[in-house]
A and B are shown apart, each in its own frame.
Chain A
């Protein structure tokens, strides 16, 4: 029996050592980190608005079919009024699903001793952990204290607190051990190479708290890899797009994302991204005027999604000829004016010393301009042909 015990202890030791070997690998990989507290800038209402607008709201993507045990759907008969109410609710729900995970700085673990009682020394051979399991407390408010072997009573470390919280109030999807995907360097690299960005980030949110070191390291790695592979469309209209854009703006490497936005003809997003980076780095360029003008011209993503939902109620005959032209070209007159504004702003950015991939961006901008010009001509021609008055 004693031999068995011995072997088991040895095995446990080996496991511990293996774990320790893993952790520095994850630490080493992250090269970019928030050097100061990003919280005030991130929670700022203007930043939040910019990030939400950049994220966009594609209903197909937000409400995609999930492979979860309960994904039943309900069929109902509704009047038009009820349906419109339901649409509003749907948009609210979509906004909720796009809630961005908080960006906070790494929390340092501090040892806080409550009392030292030498009389309690060697009372037991192991530590005692006391947890307050009152119902309804938040995880951060829950008190966890540890009585050490040498008799001192202290607040538990962050790691212990998290484990105790998970023990008594488990978070769905969180594992009590580190998943091998995050522990093993090669497996994570493989996931990244297969472009499973959303899966990795989703799992990261569930497994770690936003203030943990691992959270920062792994998310930074994912964003860096994404910046190289340029598959930004995978994260667009998910909850991770905002923090990603914020990360790029913070570390001033927005050019690839900007290029992607210009190529996909999301010019207002590009303007917002540049404005965000100006804001973070406190560049003395007046961006607020352009932003407010753009806001007046273009609806927010939520409004756009709502309009899209409402448009299914209308039949084709109800749509005017003007609407039909809009649909065919994909742009309205307001969009064209907004594009002109944003093009001016982006050119100004490319001309400045902040952009690093000037040639590439200029080329993309030039192509877009030509396409836009063609569209504008077509739009005006169509309008003329149908005898719609220029407003």
Chain B
């Protein structure tokens, strides 16, 4: 009985040590891995296996962000059950809290969470912590989460907690999506002065 209990305790402590996001993030990673396999993304899984062999260790490094994840995968992930179990019905940024000393958070968020292809911080921003969230103009489901339903504007990083680099990428992606018509917005009303289009012709006809 005792060895089993000790084993469980050890694994728990290991989990909490390895990532400060604790069980939440770890379970999310497991779910995502399962989802990726179940959706038969053979190429991706092959690559990950190769990488695992190269590095020599069994499990891939959870902080490694060198692998490029295609947008299509991300779009599928946002509709998957794995996403649902991780975030539920809330947005990707609602559960996120910034770490800071004192009562008030610094005005700006950190410059970047990823340095030299690795997560360089213990509390990465909502986009950087989940590698399957890819900011791209085609990924409208994700972009929609960062747009205010009242004003149609982009939510501030003080609210969403995105790092400055992700926020910039988000702004670019939203602008591109609007340009392509993938995201709709309320176009300003244009008032027409009819005489500008019709007045002259009537004068001509009179002459």
Chain B residues whose C-beta falls within 8 Å of the C-beta of A191 in the assembled complex:
181
Which one, A71, A171, A179, contacts B179 given CB within 8 A? A179
Check A253 for interface membership: any CB of B closer than 8 A: no
Kindly list chain B residues whose C-beta atoms are within 8 Å of the C-beta of A184: 180
Is B188's beta carbon under 8 Å from chain A? yes
How distant is the Cα of A138 from the Cα of B198 in the complex, in angstroms? 13
With a cutoff of 8 Å between Cβ atoms, the chain B residues found around residue A139 in the complex are 196
Number of A-B contacts (CB under 8 A): 81
Question: What is the CA–CA distance of A175 and B179 in the complex, to the nearest angstrom?
Answer: 9
Chain A 68-103 interface residues, beta-carbon cutoff 8 Å to B: 68-69, 71, 96-97, 99, 101-102
CB-defined contacts of A202 to chain B, threshold 8 Å? 186-187
Nearest CB in chain A: distance from B17 CB, A: 45
On chain A, the residues within 8 Å of B151 by CB distance are: 67-69, 71
- Are B196 and A206 within 8 A (Cβ)? no
- The answer to whether B197 touches A210 (Cβ under 8 A) is yes
Residues of A within 8 A of B179 (CB): 175, 179-181
Interface size on B, residues (CB 8 A): 26
Indicate if the CB atoms of A200 and B181 lie closer than 8 Å: yes
Of A99, A175, A181, A203, which contacts B191 at CB under 8 A? A99
Counting CB contacts under 8 A, is B150 at the interface?
yes
- A67, B184: Cα distance in complex, Å: 10
Answer whether residue B149 sits at the interface, using C-beta atoms and an 8 A cutoff. Answer: yes
Q: Give the interface SS of chain A, mostly helix, strand, loop or mixed.
A: loop
Chain B CB within 8 A of A187 CB: yes
CB of A6 within 8 Å of the partner chain: no
- B27 cross-chain contacts in A, Cβ below 8 A: none
B104 lies within 8 A of chain A by Cβ: no
| Residue A5, interface by CB 8 Å | no
| Nearest neighbor of A139 in chain B, beta-carbon distance | B196
- Whether the Cβ atoms of A181 and B186 lie closer than 8 Å is no
- Contact digits for B143-169, partner A, Cβ 8 Å, 1 yes 0 no: 000001111110000000000000000
Contact B201 A138 (CB under 8 A): no
Q: Which residues on A are within 8 Å of B, measured CB to CB?
A: 39, 43, 66-69, 71, 96-97, 99, 101-102, 104, 138-140, 171-173, 175, 179-181, 184, 187-188, 190-191, 196, 199-200, 202-203, 205-206, 210-211
Q: Which B residues form the contact surface with A (CB < 8 A)?
A: 148-153, 179-182, 184-194, 196-198, 200-201
- Given A68-B151, A191-B181, A202-B186, 14 additional A-B pairs, CB 8 A: A43-B194, A67-B185, A69-B152, A96-B191, A138-B193, A140-B200, A180-B179, A180-B181, A184-B180, A187-B182, A188-B181, A190-B182, A203-B181, A211-B197
